[in-house]
Structure 1
């Protein structure tokens, strides 16, 4: 099982979606946690940039003001989300 926890300080930065997608595919990541996303909501379009094949289940905690925000993803076929 492989995971990534990253204080990314802004998930909407230029090139971040490509970087995350590459990391997920290159290292066969099973779970992903991004801190300091600075986003209140994640559109399906943005999620598809990270996960173009829909192999992850995504949950998030919205940012408050100009700080915070957490995005978590788990690979559906390897892990089970209980709550």
Structure 2
């Protein structure tokens, strides 16, 4: 897949992951895209290790796999950001 495909897939996966797990996260759209792209890689690796097709382009199966990875990554990201005392953008 080309870089444009990864960005598009990341945007889609990140947006769907944020829709599944709404909440305040630092970083905005850039972090959403990065979480989606890295989530696609993580999801592809997990599904590939289990014998599935992984991420093979911008298609429905790849979006589903990417969203699963993005949700996993978003949970980890929130746990790490939460442990650092993130207060929704307000410094105290």
TM-score normalised per structure 2:
0.27
| Structure (1 or 2) with the larger CA radius of gyration | 2
Larger % of strand: which?
Answer: 1
